[in-house]
Chain A
Amino acid sequence: MKYIWFAALAVLVALPLFAQQTSASQGGAPDTAALEQRIKDLEERLIALEGQVRMLKSGQAGATGQPGAAQPAPAATEAVQAPPSPAAPAPTPLPTPVAEGVAPVGGQLPNYGGASASAKALNPDISVIGDFIGAAGTNSALPLATMQPFPSMQMHESEVGLQAIIDPYARGDFFISFGEEGVNLEEGYITFTALPAGLVAKAGKMRSAFGKVNTMHNHVLPWIDRPFVTTNLVGGEDGIDDAGFSIQRILPAPKGIFLEATGQVFRGDAGDVFKASQRSDVSTVAHLRAYKDITESTNLDFGLSYARGHNDAGAVISLSSDFLTQLYGIDATVRWKPLRRSIYHSFVGRSELIWSQRQQPLREQRAFGFYTSGDYQLGRRWFVGGRYDWSERSHFANLTDKGASAVLTYWPSEFSQLRGQYRFTKYAEGINANELLMQLIFSLGAHGAHPF
């Protein structure tokens, strides 16, 4: 890599010298043309060299390389990581951490913080997303209710994302969420991208493919809270988020329909939905997704989901639980975004219907719930939306919570977002709550993918 820099430098230096020499010794018109041609050739070589240097800097050379797209540029990496890494130009070993942490083997000090930018180019993409939520109004929900009120102010979540390509066969993604009280591995998984027969496999901890909202991180939701049906039937904010593996594949389908099947097996622990009391209590999730472009600006997205696992109902009686919970879901999304004005106007309408069938002592509980929402983009920075909620509770299917929300979102830039949500809740116990929620989301570091 250094040689290329030298070569590029040499060409740069040689260029004017060479030009001077030749023009001094000769002067005819045909020679000028030849000279111009040679300068042009040198220019071409220089541009080619610059391109190679850029590729090397962004770590794209070789099979383990990163895309310009998925990897922050050296400059950006530097900006993100400036505090912990010394900006020393020479590769000086750092004695302090070595002395404290690692015993050097064979007298050779590990060379931490190497000064070359290429060492950083292979670091994972680092990003942090802050999620600050405030709430006003009254909500005197009983302690029994699944949906508990937000505190007046909270740093709800600070999500650190670390993402990189592992090797030519796989990539890794980590999302570590720091709440106010503790740290939680929200997701951490490896994706095998180079499997035969079009299969894509994942292993690790991940949000399961049950429906739409369950797969979404807080900061990509179109609301501040999650729909009541998610909280009542699918485990709330964390949802079905468990350790296991996943296989997905695009299936052949006619008429330009995108059809994809996903099968997942998890340990069987997910909030108050699933609880594994022995190794064989694994849970399974299956999802079938059909998608079609109606026009270039409108598309339909439809999904069927199924989840099955053991619940905690038996745990009070014996150590193991033979009580099962099964969930069935239907989700539908319609999106509109005119391509010529895609940054100004769009509409997303979505709905999810979920049925829960929970075995528990005395009587099986069959609960149903749904939400319907619509979000319209008014201009480049403004979005309005609304949501209607209706959901029974999984443990007590005769109790129904209802609610409606209006949402207004403002985007100062692609990297921050201010949102207000007015929420009316009619709890099953007959308590009504009128609340105003405010949220500020801000993102640092690597440019993530836009949600779809």
Chain B
Amino acid sequence: MYKSRSRYRVVLVIVLSLLLGAVFSPTRVEAKKLNVVTSTTDMAALTQEVGGDKVNVESIAKGYQDPHFVEAKPSFLLKLRQADLLVTVGLQLEIGWLPPLVNQSGNPRIQVGAQGYLDASQFAEILDIPTGPVTRAMGDVHPLGNPHYWLDPDNGRRIAKGISAKLSEVDPGDSAYFQERFQDFDKRLTAAEQKWDAEMKPFHGRKLVTYHNSFPNFAKHFHLNVIGYVEPRPGIPPTPSHTIELIGLMKRENCKLVLVEPYFDLKTPNSIGAATGAKVVVYLPSVGGEKDVTDYFKLFDYDIALLTKAFQETQ
């Protein structure tokens, strides 16, 4: 009898302490600013553009990090549990780490399907959607299409518009503000786009190779021709036979540029560069990849400056 009572006491203490903790912990302060958490820095930059000073935006991944392989650190839960809105890239880019974080966040507002969960891929033009059956023999292929879609300014505009609509839905009182911010962003982006298009115009049709297939939307927008990848298949590290094949292809096609994402090793790209005379350039797929690349405009400014310089040098 004594024992069973003491056992119930243990259970009771555990349950009660959890409930008490729940009741007495500070509840979310009804702040004027919306807390937005995004999976990547690009989504954060676009949210900042349209959200202005009505939102606090934080990204989980850093701009120089491989967005496929972010660690599901518990410290991210501290951010997620306060979030009013979660903006994701979608298309299974974050499949290895975001779902467990969302599950454990204890935040009903950002659960999948809830009002505060936004998959930004629905607004963008998506390339490389597989048409036939998909198997892992193709590597870590994304069956819904290529998730690196934000590197096309037109997609940036579409995503920003979608985020602005979502912000208005979550915070209807500031809807006019978000709308106005979007229009301003749209104007600035259109102007910048004209400049970028003019800078890239002389290099239309130029051939290049990228490490991972993270460049299709950029290449399509600026009329570049990606002829191959350092990876034999998405997510599979380079193999000697594929590298030899790629070197042959680059020589035949007279391709003089290899673009590498900042989170990949440069050893294989450098040896390809040495064998083909191609220039190896570390480009930035995301905002925040370098310290001074702090917003969506600077990301294109940075990459276009890199590319135009590299193309001129390998004329």
List residues of chain A with CB under 8 Å of any chain B CB: 44, 47-48, 50-52, 54-55, 58, 60, 62-70, 72-76, 78-79, 82, 165, 168-169, 171, 191, 193-200, 247-252, 256, 258, 260-261, 263, 265, 280, 282, 284, 286, 289, 291-293, 296, 299, 301, 308, 322, 324, 335, 337, 339-344, 380-381, 413-415, 447-450, 452
Known: A197-B22, A249-B22, A450-B96. A51 touches B112 (CB 8 A): no
CB of B18 within 8 A of CB of A263, answer yes
B125: interface (CB < 8 Å)? yes
CB of A200 within 8 A of CB of B106, answer yes
Task: Provide the bound-state CA to CA distance between A250 and B98, in Å.
Answer: 18
Residues of B within 8 A of A260 (CB): 74
Distance from B41 Cβ to chain A, minimum over Cβ atoms (Å): 12
Known: A341-B263, A342-B263, A343-B69. A191 touches B103 (CB 8 A): yes
Distance from B158 Cβ to chain A, minimum over Cβ atoms (Å): 7
Task: Provide the bound-state CA to CA distance between A398 and B216, in Å.
Answer: 66
Taken residue by residue from 1 to 35, chain B's Cβ proximity to chain A (1 for < 8 Å, 0 otherwise) reads as 00110010011001101100111011000000000
Which chain B residues (58-85) contact chain A, with CB distance < 8 Å? 62, 64-66, 69, 71-75, 77-78, 81
Residues of B within 8 A of A322 (CB): 3
B303: interface (CB < 8 Å)? no
> Whose C-beta in chain A lies nearest to the C-beta of B155?
A47
Categorize the interface residue count of chain B.
Answer: 35 or more
CB of A68 within 8 A of CB of B14, answer no
Interface-lining segment among B138-146, B178-186, B197-205, B307-315: B138-146
CB of A447 within 8 A of CB of B113, answer no
Residues of B within 8 A of A324 (CB): 3
Task: Provide the bound-state CA to CA distance between A65 and B114, in Å.
Answer: 9
Task: Provide the bound-state CA to CA distance between A264 and B274, in Å.
Answer: 60
Given contacts A52-B122, A76-B134, A291-B74, 19 further A-B contacts (CB under 8 A): A47-B123, A55-B119, A62-B113, A65-B113, A67-B88, A67-B119, A69-B90, A69-B92, A79-B134, A194-B108, A197-B23, A198-B107, A249-B18, A252-B26, A256-B75, A284-B10, A293-B73, A322-B3, A381-B237
CB of A258 within 8 A of CB of B123, answer no
Residues of A within 8 A of B172 (CB): none
The total number of A-B Cβ pairs within 8 Å is: 227
Task: Provide the bound-state CA to CA distance between A78 and B143, in Å.
Answer: 11
Taken residue by residue from 259 to 273, chain B's Cβ proximity to chain A (1 for < 8 Å, 0 otherwise) reads as 000111100000000
B126: interface (CB < 8 Å)? yes
Residues of A within 8 A of B73 (CB): 291, 293, 299, 452
Task: Provide the bound-state CA to CA distance between A308 and B142, in Å.
Answer: 46
Known: A55-B122, A62-B113, A280-B7. A252 touches B235 (CB 8 A): no
Known: A70-B99, A296-B62, A413-B235. A64 touches B113 (CB 8 A): yes
Query: Which of B95, B96, B237: most chain A Cβ within 10 A?
Result: B95
Listed from nearest, the 5 A-B pairs whose CB atoms lie closest are: A73-B143, A263-B14, A194-B108, A197-B22, A51-B122
Known: A67-B99, A249-B22, A291-B74. A415 touches B136 (CB 8 A): yes
Task: Provide the bound-state CA to CA distance between A256 and B78, in Å.
Answer: 8
> Whose C-beta in chain B lies nearest to the C-beta of A380?
B237
CB of B90 within 8 A of CB of A68, answer yes
CB of B77 within 8 A of CB of A250, answer yes
Distance from A82 Cβ to chain B, minimum over Cβ atoms (Å): 8
CB of B121 within 8 A of CB of A171, answer no
CB of B263 within 8 A of CB of A66, answer no
CB of A449 within 8 A of CB of B77, answer no
Contact of A60 among B77, B119, B145 (CB under 8 A): B119
CB of B75 within 8 A of CB of A258, answer yes
Known: A260-B74, A296-B62, A452-B72. A252 touches B25 (CB 8 A): yes
CB of A449 within 8 A of CB of B96, answer yes
Query: Which of B62, B64, B143: most chain A Cβ within 10 A?
Result: B143
Can you list 7 residue pairs at the A/B interface with Cβ under 8 Å? A67-B99, A67-B102, A73-B92, A73-B144, A282-B7, A282-B11, A343-B69
CB of B104 within 8 A of CB of A200, answer yes
B111: interface (CB < 8 Å)? yes
CB of A414 within 8 A of CB of B235, answer yes
Residues of B within 8 A of A78 (CB): 133
B248: interface (CB < 8 Å)? no
CB of A449 within 8 A of CB of B90, answer no
B196: interface (CB < 8 Å)? no
Task: Provide the bound-state CA to CA distance between A50 and B126, in Å.
Answer: 9
Contact of A450 among B71, B77, B114 (CB under 8 A): B71
CB of A79 within 8 A of CB of B113, answer no
CB of B114 within 8 A of CB of A249, answer no
Task: Provide the bound-state CA to CA distance between A414 and B18, in Å.
Answer: 38
CB of B18 within 8 A of CB of A261, answer yes
Query: Which of A195, A280, A343: most chain B Cβ within 10 A?
Result: A343
